[in-house]
């Protein structure tokens, strides 16, 4: 399996621009998570989906952030407009809960710099 695939791996954008991060979960996984990692706050859960439906978006910082999952193999995290404080590594992760087990597999991350 190719694992969780994210794009772009690196993005530098100017403040005010729209940023779209993309994720392809592991085939067959029905949970998808978006995390953000910064030095100040560590790894934070932003939102997660089950069977393409958003379950908990309480971690989304503000209305500038939105996430969609139009089908089982694709999700986007959008920031509009972007701000310098959004600079972070954004990880997508997926899981397929078995019997009382929920190992979450992470992608390599999208490194975002907003200048």
Written as six digits, the tokens of 84 are: 């310098």
With contacts defined by CB under 8 A, name the span among 20-28, 69-77, 80-88, 94-102 that binds another protein: 94-102
Q: Tell me if 109 contacts another protein by CB under 8 A.
A: yes
With contacts defined by CB under 8 A, name the span among 15-23, 36-44, 67-75, 76-84 that binds another protein: 36-44
Using DSSP bridges, classify how beta strands 110-114 and 10-13 pair: parallel, antiparallel or unpaired.
parallel
Among 1, 70, 71, 98, binds another protein (CB under 8 A): 98
Q: Tell me if 2 contacts another protein by CB under 8 A.
A: no
Among 39, 53, 63, 71, binds another protein (CB under 8 A): 39
Q: Tell me if 53 contacts another protein by CB under 8 A.
A: no
Q: Kindly report the CA angle at 26 between 25 and 29, in degrees rounded to 5?
A: 90
Q: How far is CA 33 from CA 6, 45, 93, 106, in A?
A: 12, 7, 5, 9
Query: CA 49 to CA 69: how far, in whole Å?
Result: 8
Q: Tell me if 15 contacts another protein by CB under 8 A.
A: no
């Amino acid at each position: 399996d190719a694992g969780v695939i994210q794009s772009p791996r690196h993005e530098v954008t100017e403040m005010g621009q729209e940023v779209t991060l993309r994720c392809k979960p592991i085939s067959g996984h029905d949970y998808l998570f978006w995390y953000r990692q910064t030095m100040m706050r560590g790894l934070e859960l932003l939102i997660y989906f089950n069977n393409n439906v958003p379950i908990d978006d309480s971690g989304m910082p503000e209305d500038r952030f939105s996430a969609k999952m139009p089908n089982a193999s694709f999700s986007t995290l959008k920031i509009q407009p972007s701000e310098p404080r959004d600079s972070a590594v954004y990880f997508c992760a997926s899981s397929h809960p078995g019997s009382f087990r929920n190992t979450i597999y992470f992608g390599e991350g999208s490194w975002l710099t907003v200048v």
